Structure 1
């Protein structure tokens, strides 16, 4: 009994310590919405018509490719985005996990398992840090937001339910921002497409992917219009990104595990490319995070961001320190680098590396050219004259005939 009481006190104390000594809520805190469209491959931006997303980008910033973490699956990457940690550091290493010591399995389709804090407590996501700073957070179905992490529960959240419309999700988020009492200043949003369509048909199925991406584009249009209607558009920062890309499956590119090791010598825990199951037609992810097909993108708009600015790449773990900077939060130890995102932010001095290299190389070439011209001019010798007249003292004397 004494041990149980001690355990309860320690757990309670941990929750108090995490958020101790922080100020009460502040309605003037910077505001941010983080949006993820699952499985939105980076090159969809150039391969498909997305006029509303392009308008969003033109009025803000674009990172053409975000290098995500391995394995390129939903739960590891969504947790990396909000913690700034690699999977081996935050502990969410796959969509399905098996704890051999305690004989526990984590599965997204098992509510009890996926909401057990033991799987999530190796890291502190940004919404916990935000709330420990005396602010309030909300979420529409972002992985982990329905879990009590570090003994902190999200102020407002919608548990995952794919049947809830995008419009309903947006309406809830905007209402939490604009309510008179205890408004939130940070929110996350998750939408399960175009991942599902990519799995079923593959990213190279132009017809079906075009249809779904058209829906995504309308979703972005609705989000922007609702923010404008709620008078949030000019004051709230919005980041749109994804967890991973999508690759076309092929039965011609298969490593048959049973040809390498007997089935009795292993246990299949997860049905991913890493587990080497036989793929069907369609698309999949989970492959090497160095592959461009696995990379998502990032677009952002708001008072913290430049307008009409584009850059090549960042790491997904860089998003976390950037968000902490925008919100004025002290970041937890992480694997990200704020300097990688400085060029996106209006309050940061930045030298864009490609432009800087171009300026330096151009300057060197110009100096080299000028130096060569000067040396050539100095070494130039006047051409000799055909006749040379010598001046003598008696040249002026008359000739004697």
Structure 2
């Protein structure tokens, strides 16, 4: 009888230990960014692995980017739950009068300087709450924001293969529990690269690149199945892509040659920082005399721009081209025409335009034990991804972010 009781106690202990370990299993979130992945690519090309991932998970009709629909502002919006005017990365390039410096995505020393970045990105929030975070390329993750970086991160290098990135994620997941990241961010540039070069309606080139990317994502999805962990995967993109005819590039050098201002950026908007504020009305009138397909915006216009924490970085005046037109410096236009002749094309792909244009819309897909399966939701703004991830990981949501948990909370089980 004594032996029976001992065996019974051992069985109860073993079951209790198993149940406790099951309860203790903490959720993991892998946030994957597919740069330039337009909202309609999956429907058009039906990539095998992504389609399977979506069918058993959550899919949004589209995800609306913040303005401008550029890479750095929108990645950092997803990472912070703040609009660009509230987190400070107001464009891929902009001038900061207080620093007297021009931020640019190619300036590594500035990209890695945490003083340029407002808000509290997900990996910083995680680390501040004693949660290990990791990043294989995500805007801001190589900067010391609030003096914090992810426990594991890499300085950006576009030459690193996608499979190297995938393999590193597997290595992170194999770490002992105290060292294992519960938040992982990843970045793939494939569809942005091909979209810029050939435009978003060149099905042959897009399909070829997407097929390769889909195989690599498939390897990730398959590998994740081997881990007895509570892994939730969220796939987003930062913006879509629009066809711009070669003859629709507007010569910004000619347009602004007599303007007394520092002019930063081109493309879907140019920022003008006036040398003398008294010149504003005169400059606006001079620009408006142009018969070019552009809009001139006064940043002090309260109807269009309110609550701008980083107004100085936005500038005094914005030049915004019409839909399907793009601003470019004279030297760049010559290069654009040369590339068009080489590729035998009449269009290129660009972005940065108003989120009101559906071509700018991005994707949101999610799959994992936290999510309801087979669910499709309406279009929403990308500011709402942040509080969703906080909820899954049990992180406190910072006050005064733009995103709202109630927008995406219904997709959770």
The TM-score by the shorter chain falls in which range?
0.7 to 0.9
Whether 2:53 is the aligned partner of 1:56: answer: yes
Question: Whose radius of gyration is greater, 1 or 2?
Answer: 1
Note if contact 2:173-2:181 (Cα within 8 Å) is conserved in structure 1: yes
Determine the structure 2 residue equivalent to 1:328.
Answer: 394
Aligned length: 318
Deviation at 1:159, TM superposition (A): 1.6
Flag structure 2 segments of 5+ consecutive residues without an equivalent.
1-22, 271-326, 337-346
> What TM-score comes out, normalization by structure 2 length?
0.73
Taking the aligned partners of 1:135 and 1:259, their CA distance within structure 2 comes to 52
Deviation at 1:27, TM superposition (A): 7.8
Whether 2:379 is the aligned partner of 1:337: answer: no
Check 1:303–1:205 CA distance in 2 against 1; reply closer, same or farther (3 A cut): same
Whether 2:141 is the aligned partner of 1:75: answer: no
Structure showing the higher strand proportion among its residues: 2
Give 3-state SS (helix, strand or coil) of 1:190's partner.
Answer: strand
Determine the structure 2 residue equivalent to 1:381.
Answer: none
Give 3-state SS (helix, strand or coil) of 2:149's partner.
Answer: coil
Deviation at 1:261, TM superposition (A): 4.9
Determine the structure 1 residue equivalent to 2:328.
Answer: 277
Determine the structure 1 residue equivalent to 2:214.
Answer: 217
1:118-169 per-position Cα deviation (integer Å, ceiling 9, x unaligned): 111x211011111111110000011111111111121001221111111111
Determine the structure 1 residue equivalent to 2:143.
Answer: 147
Moved more, 325-334 or 93-102: 93-102
Flag structure 1 segments of 5+ consecutive residues without an equivalent.
1-25, 347-401
Taking the aligned partners of 1:329 and 1:323, their CA distance within structure 2 comes to 8
Deviation at 1:59, TM superposition (A): 1.3
Give 3-state SS (helix, strand or coil) of 2:389's partner.
Answer: helix
Note if contact 2:172-2:181 (Cα within 8 Å) is conserved in structure 1: yes
Moved more, 248-257 or 315-324: 248-257
Determine the structure 1 residue equivalent to 2:382.
Answer: 316
Determine the structure 2 residue equivalent to 1:107.
Answer: 104
Whether 2:298 is the aligned partner of 1:247: answer: no
Check 1:231–1:107 CA distance in 2 against 1; reply closer, same or farther (3 A cut): same
Determine the structure 1 residue equivalent to 2:367.
Answer: 301
Give 3-state SS (helix, strand or coil) of 1:267's partner.
Answer: strand
Note if contact 2:34-2:236 (Cα within 8 Å) is conserved in structure 1: yes
Q: For 1:344-355, what aligned pairs fall within 5 Å after superposition?
A: 344-346=411-413
Determine the structure 2 residue equivalent to 1:18.
Answer: none
Check 1:109–1:254 CA distance in 2 against 1; reply closer, same or farther (3 A cut): closer
